[in-house]
Amino acid sequence: MSTPLSESVWLNDVDVCQVEYLAEVSGLSIEEIEDLIDTDVIKPVDAGTPTRMFQLRYVVTVKTARRLRDDFELDRRGLALALSLLQRIDELQAEIHATKARLGHPR
């Protein structure tokens, strides 16, 4: 489902949007977002379809990218690298969280 700009929406991994929407809400250029796609920071739902769609949760990713670009004056390569590393940290933190949940409360 494509998401119009005027709506209030939950940024989840089910609803999707086009690359133009990600550019609009983040203020990044299409070229900058293409860099993030090329480096797998952002992945289309089905890369094989003519119109690429992206999970709405990537709005958070592109907004983070915009903040990092502006606050650290990062160039396009630096931005993609920083986001890849942040994504790895997020994945590791999620693994730690999941492990702690399975292990139980320490007594």
Partner 1 sequence: MKFKDYYEALGVERTATLADIKKAYRKLAHKYHPDVSADPDSEAKFKDVAEAYATLKNPEKREAYDNLGKHPAGESFTPPPDWQQHFHTGEAGLDDVDLADLFSAFGRGGGGGGHRRQSFPVPGQDYEIAAPVTLEQIHRADQIELSAELPEYDANGLAHRVPRTFQITIPKSAANGQRLRLAGKGGPGFNGGRPGDLYVSLVLQPHPLYRPDGRDLYLDLPLAPWEAVLGASVHVPTLAGTVELNVKPGTTAGQKLRLAKRGLASADGSVGALYAVVRIEVPKTVSAREHELLEQLAAASNFNPRTHFA
Q: Can you give the binding site for partner 1, defined by CB under 8 A? A: 5-15, 25, 27, 57, 59-60, 63-64, 67-68, 71-72, 86, 97-98, 100-102, 104-105, 107
Instruction: Report yes or no: 29 and 11 within 8 Å, Cβ to Cβ.
Output: no
CB of 81 to partner 1, least distance (A): 13
| Closer by beta carbon to partner 1, 7 or else 50 | 7
What is the amino acid identity at position 61? T
DSSP state of 94: H
CB of 85 to partner 1, least distance (A): 10
DSSP-derived secondary structure for 49-72? SSS--EETTHHHHHHHHHHHHHHH
